[in-house]
Amino acid sequence: MDEDQIRSRLRLIRSVVTRNLMRDYVPFPMDRKLASSWASPLKVPRGGDALIYTSYMYQMASVFKSYGRLLPKFGSLASSSIVQGLGARVIKPSDDEMKRASSVLSNAYSLIRASGVEVGYLYEEEPYSGALLLEMGFLDELKEYGKRLLSFFHDKGAKRLIVLDPHTLFTLTYLKREAGFDVSFEHYLDVIKGAKGGGSFVLHDSCVFSRLLDRYSSLRDFIREAGISLSENELVTGKATGTCCGGPLGSLDYELSEGMAKQRAEELKSVNPRVLVMCPICLSQLSPYADVKDLLEVIRHE
């Protein structure tokens, strides 16, 4: 591994991401209006004490990947305002990606509402969770951001967050333990009722959800109860044998990240050509190499 390259990228990521987070509650410049546009047609209430919390993950997963590739080109540009400007002009999710994210988020909202939970949304004011900082090991910066994040949610009167992705869930779990984050949060799978789906898939476990948060078995219980058939192979989908899609490495070593994604996709396809995920990073990583659906594209309220 090229240590100089790693160090140089880490410095750049840290300076850009932390500066943006502390100022604007997002890791890099993004079109927040576009990212929150999924909610307007549904007339999702703005704000409230219970909030659906996307943390921009479904909307921006592929952007996280491409931003990481672009950062080295800006390596010598220390000024984050220049990077900001470049970022806002050149990095956007494609229309197809935004359409897919909107469909997923809309379904999540419908499932939550159909389960009797009234939630609002912060639209373009929604803050990012800081997951990227946790992934990189920037723990002091994450704890500092966590305090700002907590104040932000308190100011908005938020008392309950319904989280849609494993990375945000894991980050809030970390902040609760290490930084006193005291707004209650839960994963949508623990909230929704009466979700039904169909089809036969091989499940690619989110590392974070199934292993780090130890939800391997309960996730399978939910999926099977929803009427979805899962193909399993102990060497591919076992709790200990399943492996990462490579997504978190995209900003540091894109080639390694893609190599891992291809390898994982091949393993999964050997079990079932249709792959099921429940994480926007996994969805973005594996989609170029397999027929992948997110759980939120497969289940509906019965």
Q: How many beta carbons lie within 10 A of that of residue 174, not counting itself?
A: 20
21 is written with which tokens? 């987070």
Which is nearer to another protein, 135 or 165 (by Cβ)?
Answer: 135
Provide the minimum distance between the beta carbon of 19 and another protein in the complex, in angstroms, as a whole number.
15
Least separation in angstroms between residue 187's CB and another protein is: 17
The residue among 64 and 109 lying less far from another protein, judged by its C-beta, is: 64
Q: Map tokens 């897919």 to a residue.
A: 100
Q: Is 288 helix (H, G, I), strand (E, B) or coil?
A: coil
Residue 237 half-sphere exposure toward CB, CA atoms < 13 A: 22
Judged by CB, which is closer to another protein: 2, or 96? 2
| Paired sense of beta strands 300-301 and 195-196, if any | antiparallel
Smaller CB separation from another protein, 137 or 157 = 137
Asked whether the beta carbons of 120 and 47 are under 8 A apart, the reply is: yes
Integer CA distances (angstroms), 250 to 9, 33, 154, 206, in order: 11, 25, 33, 16
- Nearest distance in Å: CB 214, another protein: 9
Give the integer Cα–Cα distance in Å for 285 and 256: 12
Q: Closest CB to another protein among 47 and 238?
A: 238
Q: Residue 6 or 90: which CB sits closer to another protein?
A: 6
CB of 11 to another protein, least distance (A): 5
Question: Please, what sign has the CA dihedral across residues 258, 262, 267, 273?
Answer: positive
Residues forming contacts to another protein in the complex (CB under 8 A) are 1, 3, 6-7, 10-11, 14, 134-140, 207-208, 210-212, 234-235, 238-244, 246-249, 252-253, 256, 259-260, 263-264
Smallest gap from Cβ 34 to another protein, in A, equals 28
Helical packing angle, 3-24 and 80-90, nearest 10°: 80
Torsion of CA 109, 111, 117, 121, to 10 degrees: -10
Tell me which amino acid residue 223 is. I
The minimum distance between CB 264 and another protein, in angstroms, equals 7
Tokens standing for residue 159 = 């008392």
**Cβ 61 to another protein shortest distance, Å:** 15
- Nearer to another protein (CB atom), residue 228 or residue 278: 278
